[in-house]
């Protein structure tokens, strides 16, 4: 899915909501089996009920790998359940390794699983991102400033040139591609940095986690929008675990719909 198609999808659905499928069996409704099969059934119901309100689904790979081989199977089957072109499919994998290894990860997520996008950790620098950019119509979503407390340890360290590590990192990574194949992760809890970030990167889309459970609010994200909207805002637990009863899919749809209505007002 290219950038124009994402913008179109956002305008059509009047939403920039990304639903995070952090499908932890321990938190799923009690009537579902706590297995990879249960996860697949859970995901299928959530996707079906939230698709009118979501423009992206983010699969948190950790939750599938924690289930072993069966988890990888549930991951692949879940991706097949998302109608192509109806939502961007993001593998939230935060991979990052030397070139020959990054190329294998690209193969895993762009070819084997046919995801549209993958999240990437830039600690190892440019050559850990480049191999992902060789794929047409696929997105590298690189960590910029994350929503967690640990962002202080590396990302918010100040360099001798006065800039933060995350800024310098984003600038270097941005040069490897363009706003048609690179997005950045910007945490919703870091509102004080939104204006300078958007000024420095006017055209890039940002994937924004941290709304809901982690404390960020939609209101503050206005500062991070651009003319293409320029945001995919993720909500995971708040939506998918909205109810622990048999009505969980309906409850998820209601929560997603609430967010979509707020977003439609922001899209204006």
Residues contributing to the site for its own copies (CB under 8 A): 22, 24, 60, 62-63, 65-69, 71-73, 76, 92, 94-102, 104-105, 107-109, 112-113, 121-128, 143, 146-155, 157-160, 162, 165, 168-169, 172-173, 214
Q: By the 8 A CB rule, do 109 and 131 touch?
A: no
Q: How far apart are CA 39 and CA 183, in angstroms?
A: 28
Shortest distance (Å) from residue 92 CB to its own copies: 8
**Which is nearer to its own copies, 3 or 96 (by Cβ)?**
96
Shortest distance (Å) from residue 242 CB to its own copies: 17
**Which is nearer to its own copies, 112 or 137 (by Cβ)?**
112
Angle ∠(236,58,50) on CA atoms, nearest 5: 65
Q: How far apart are CA 123 and CA 217, in angstroms?
A: 28
For 105, 134, 175, the CA distances from 233, given in Å and listed in that order, are 25, 26, 24
Shortest distance (Å) from residue 257 CB to its own copies: 25
Q: Which of 188, 239, 181, 217 is nearest to 57 (CA)?
A: 239
Q: Which residue has the tokens 């300078």?
A: 196
**Which is nearer to its own copies, 4 or 126 (by Cβ)?**
126
Q: By the 8 A CB rule, do 132 and 138 touch?
A: yes
Long-range contacts of 37-45 (CB under 8 A, 24+ apart): 37/70, 37/74, 39/63, 39/64, 39/67, 39/71, 39/74, 39/78, 40/74, 40/77, 40/78, 42/240, 42/248, 43/74, 43/78, 43/81, 44/78, 44/81, 45/248, 45/249
Q: How far apart are CA 146 and CA 185, in angstroms?
A: 7
**Which is nearer to its own copies, 86 or 97 (by Cβ)?**
97
**Which is nearer to its own copies, 122 or 212 (by Cβ)?**
122
The catalytic residues are 94
Shortest distance (Å) from residue 17 CB to its own copies: 20
Shortest distance (Å) from residue 138 CB to its own copies: 15
């Amino acid at each position: 899915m290219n950038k124009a198609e994402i913008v179109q999808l956002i305008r059509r659905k009047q939403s920039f909501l990304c639903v995070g499928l952090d499908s932890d069996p321990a938190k799923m409704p009690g009537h579902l089996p706590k297995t990879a099969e249960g996860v697949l059934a859970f995901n299928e119901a959530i996707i079906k009920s939230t698709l009118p309100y979501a423009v992206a689904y983010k699969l948190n790979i950790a939750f599938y790998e924690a289930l072993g081989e069966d988890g990888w199977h549930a991951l692949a089957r879940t991706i097949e359940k998302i109608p192509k072109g109806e939502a961007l499919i993001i593998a939230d994998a935060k991979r990052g390794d030397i070139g020959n290894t990054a190329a294998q990860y690209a193969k895993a997520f762009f070819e084997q699983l046919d995801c549209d996008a993958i999240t990437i950790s830039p600690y190892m620098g440019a050559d850990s991102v480049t191999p992902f950019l060789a794929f047409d119509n696929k997105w590298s979503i690189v960590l910029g400033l994350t929503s967690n407390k640990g962002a202080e340890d590396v990302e918010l360290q100040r360099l001798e040139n006065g800039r933060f590590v995350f800024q310098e990192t984003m600038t270097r990574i941005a040069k490897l591609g363009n706003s048609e194949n690179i997005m950045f992760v910007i945490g919703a809890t870091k509102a004080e940095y939104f204006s300078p970030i958007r000024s420095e990167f006017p055209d890039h889309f940002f994937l924004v986690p941290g709304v809901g459970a982690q404390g960020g609010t939609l209101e503050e994200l206005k500062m991070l929008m651009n003319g293409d909207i320029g945001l995919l805002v993720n909500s995971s637990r708040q939506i998918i675990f909205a109810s622990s009863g048999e009505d969980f899919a309906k409850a998820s749809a209601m929560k997603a719909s609430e967010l979509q209505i707020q977003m439609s007002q922001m899209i204006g």
